[in-house]
Structure 1
Amino acid sequence: MKPTRHIVADLETLDTQPSAVILTAGLIAVEISDAGVTVLSRWYRHLEFFFQQDQPGRTQSENTWEWWGKQSDPAIWQAFEQRPRLSLWLAMHSLAAWLEIHPYPIWGNGSDFDNATLQDAFKQCGLRWPYWRNRCLRSTKGLVQQLAPDVKLPEFPEHLTPHVAIDDAEHEAYLLAALLEAITRAPVVETHIHIPAPLIELSLTADQVEELMALAPFGAGTLIPIGAQS
């Protein structure tokens, strides 16, 4: 498999809409090859969110707060308690600079969430999100599993914590590697279709038929005279 470079993004938020309050953001740049996954760089930030002015205009939902109440203590600590924390403006400008020096496709686990939320936050901070680099891990996974139902995908690593943004991003990088391997190693099936040349009926004299016969052997696409006239 030809080595390729990618970025995988994961967010922890207080809503499921692109306008969500962002608690943490984790992005990992990797190179994927036959040798496996090589981590090139990590970007992980905790954001201020305690007051409305920390992320003005961004949204929260009761369902998401309830969901957080069911998560592990380490995940909750990283999302809500870990410090230091940055303002949304500073975090997004830091991320923009990091993306400039890592110009690779950006994969989110869902075309309508991670990348969409970062794009919304970028716009709020006066930045332009590189939308042309967006890639959807969930869509790719669904396609591969549909075409190759027996493909083996990696389990969540024991040394990582689910719903910690940078850990989720790392796990998804291993998942991406498995999907790309399944795609590149899929057998190529060649299909040959023979389409015969059409017969065209012409009305020719005997002399014209003899002239045509003398030109070249008949093959596909050759005009075959039928019903020659004497």
Structure 2
Amino acid sequence: MNTAKHLMVDIEAAGKTTSAALVSIGAVFFDPATGAMDESFYAPVILSSSQYYDGDIDASTVEWWMQQSDAARAVFSDENRCSLKTVLEQFSNFIKVSAGESDVYVWGNGPAYDNAILSHAFRKTWIRQPWSFSKDTCVRTMVMLGRQMGIDPKNELPREGEHHNALDDAIHQARYVSIIWQKLFAVQQ
């Protein structure tokens, strides 16, 4: 049986457009029906490598990064940084190994940010994107639906981890999307 798996993705970038240069990728497989977390992925990217593959660096985003915590900015000097191509190959392999033959729904913030930036990076590095465009799924839409139902776990759920660490952000997003998902489906029962 081919069951779907859900993958929450968060990226950190040096810009705001779909061609933004990637700084890091964080992802966690999760079950929105239970909130259970599964395998996770985190990889910092050498910024100049992202730029080499046509990633845009935006001055206002660089200024924003300069105002973030020391822990958040540490991604730029992380000794585990790799080239964009290497990170995307690792990420693609992580998805393929973790999901097997399952369809993968890839959750990200907005139709023009996380998933779109990743898609751009895969195209620019000539690596096949490991999920179907039809499986792009929107966190922001879920947040809006939750607020329409009178809940706002995005802002009310206690935060764990470092803000603007891609993996910590992905885990937090998976937690609040699961709460909204469960509330949505509880209404139908």
TM-score range, shorter chain: 0.7 to 0.9
State the match for 1:114 in structure 2: 114
What runs of 5+ residues in structure 2 fail to find an aligned partner?
none
Aligned equivalents of 1:127, 1:53: Cα separation in 2: 14
The CA deviation string for residues 120-167 of structure 1, in whole angstroms up to 9 with x for no partner, is: 011111123221221001012113322x1x225154544311111000
State the match for 2:8 in structure 1: 8
Counterpart AA for 2:6: H
Q: Secondary structure at the match of 1:186?
A: helix
TM-score normalised by structure 2 residue count: 0.86
1:48–1:55 CA contact under 8 A, matched in 2: no
Aligned equivalents of 2:161, 2:177: Cα separation in 1: 17
Aligned equivalents of 2:93, 2:69: Cα separation in 1: 32
State the match for 2:45 in structure 1: 47
State the match for 1:160 in structure 2: 161
State the match for 1:125 in structure 2: 125
Q: What percentage of aligned pairs have identical amino acids?
A: 24
Distance 1:118 1:8, change over 3 A: same
Structure number with higher relative contact order (C-alpha < 8 Å, ≥ 6 residues apart): 2
Counterpart AA for 2:145: L
2:53 to 56, 63, 86: 56
Distance 1:8 1:166, change over 3 A: same
Greater Cα radius of gyration, structure 1 or 2? 1
1:5–1:32 CA contact under 8 A, matched in 2: no
Counterpart AA for 1:172: Q
The CA deviation string for residues 30-75 of structure 1, in whole angstroms up to 9 with x for no partner, is: 1233xx42221011001112x4686332110111011111111111
State the match for 1:195 in structure 2: none
Q: How does 1:70-85 map to 2 (within 5 A)?
A: 70-77=67-74, 79-85=75-81
Q: How many residues align?
A: 180
What runs of 5+ residues in structure 1 fail to find an aligned partner?
189-230
State the match for 1:94 in structure 2: 90
State the match for 1:105 in structure 2: 105
Distance 1:72 1:7, change over 3 A: same
TM-score normalised by structure 1 residue count: 0.72
2:54–2:124 CA contact under 8 A, matched in 1: no
State the match for 2:183 in structure 1: 182
Task: Please report the RMSD computed on the Cα atoms of aligned residues, expressed in angstroms.
Answer: 2.1
Greater shift after overlay, 171-180 or 123-132? 123-132
Aligned equivalents of 2:108, 2:117: Cα separation in 1: 10
